[in-house]
Copies of this chain bind each other. A is one copy, B any other.
Amino acid sequence: VGSDTGHMAILGYDPFKHYRGRGPFEARGVGLEVKPGDVAFRCNFATVDENGVIQSRRAGRIEAGTDQLREIINEEISEIEDVQILFKESVAHRAALVLRGENLDEHITPTDPHVPGVEYWKSEPLEGYEDNEAARRTAKILNAFVERTREVLDDAPLNEERRAEGKHPANIVLPRGAGTAVDLEPFEKRYEIPGAMIVEVDLVRGLGEYLQMKVPRVTGATGGPDTDEIAIADEVVDSFQKNDFILANIKAPDLGGHDGDVAQKIAAIEKVDRAIGHIIDNTADMHLVTMVAADHCTPCAVRDHSGEPIPTIFYGYGVTPDGVQSYGERACAQGMMGHFRGADVMNLLMNWAGAAEKFGA
């Protein structure tokens, strides 16, 4: 499960039905519109040598200045053939791309091989789409875009500086995660309550934008291990003034899992614990139903997302208590709610909140 599909499921939008690729969420998350017919991508700024061999997939973990590179790209590459090029940077090495024009198709392969030391890939139609004219055209335009970024970024002032400092230049953009506009019923229309998402990554923020939820940005929420969890918790508490549903996500535990760093993950989970305590302490008069869970597992042993059940707490007035006394995989396996699907979560919460309609009489 991914962060996008995990969040979709928790919010009651079955990803098997609705998911059309990561690109559109990433693009919406950085503020690019994705219209029906557009094809959207998430991108990395990366470093390649003169032979196109990747030296760093994240341009030496570039932290700042990608807005200057975006300006160059927007100026130099606004159109390829008759297709409009919309590009915007996100945090760190990340960015998003939207292709807009007639006759485009998202069934094409990525350009990022996901490992350094090899040449970046040329995009081509996915298996089964080799004869799809639109997919062939989209892959061709995407490859042309990548080549053009190599040309216009190489001597950018930022990259000259980085070379002088012994850092990897951000001299190419590698798109992947091709997807097209999704048609999701707005959250408030579906559940008849206003909702907000307080999240740190643009991918998930983009989902919130799609669902027409409020997606406030929190000062101090870095998306990293140093994030200000109390600032996030305060925003949750404040947001209940205007919303009846809040989904908040702190990214740090996932990073510890990806890095296989147990100490970092423990510290991140302690941050989440403090944030939850802060929320509970400051919402005591609100009669909330609180759920503690995750969008997916990221075990340190796996260093990537995995598919195990997520231990989940439901807490609040109207929630039947069971005998479970602690939070974790083993303890929660004994719980009264047993195992349930992510896509059932909203039904459970609406039930306990007394907001579910009776089916039948």
Hey, which bits of chain A sit against chain B, CB under 8 A? 1-6, 8, 15, 19, 22, 42, 177, 203, 299, 301-302, 304-309, 317-318, 320, 322-323, 329-330, 333-340, 347-348, 351-352, 354, 356, 358-361
The residues of B that contact A360 with a CB separation of less than 8 Å are 1-6, 8, 15, 19, 22
CA A210 – CA B352 in complex, angstroms?
33
CA A317 – CA B335 in complex, angstroms?
26
The residues of B that contact A338 with a CB separation of less than 8 Å are 309, 333, 338-339
14 contacts between A and B (CB under 8 A): A2-B359, A3-B361, A5-B360, A15-B359, A42-B361, A299-B320, A302-B318, A302-B354, A308-B336, A308-B351, A309-B336, A309-B338, A333-B338, A339-B340
The residues of B that contact A340 with a CB separation of less than 8 Å are 339
* Interchain CB contact under 8 A, B330 and A336: yes
A351 to chain B, nearest CB (A): 4
16 extra interface residue pairs, beta carbon distance < 8 Å, beyond A301-B318, A302-B318 = A2-B360, A3-B360, A4-B360, A15-B359, A19-B360, A22-B360, A177-B361, A203-B361, A301-B317, A306-B351, A307-B347, A307-B348, A329-B336, A333-B337, A334-B334, A339-B339
* Interchain CB contact under 8 A, A305 and B354: no
The residues of B that contact A322 with a CB separation of less than 8 Å are 329-330, 333
Sorted nearest first, the 8 A-B pairs with minimum C-beta distance are A2-B360, A5-B360, A338-B339, A307-B351, A22-B361, A333-B336, A2-B361, A4-B360
The residues of B that contact A1 with a CB separation of less than 8 Å are 358-360
* Interchain CB contact under 8 A, B203 and A307: no
* Interchain CB contact under 8 A, A323 and B330: yes
The residues of B that contact A318 with a CB separation of less than 8 Å are 299, 301-302, 306
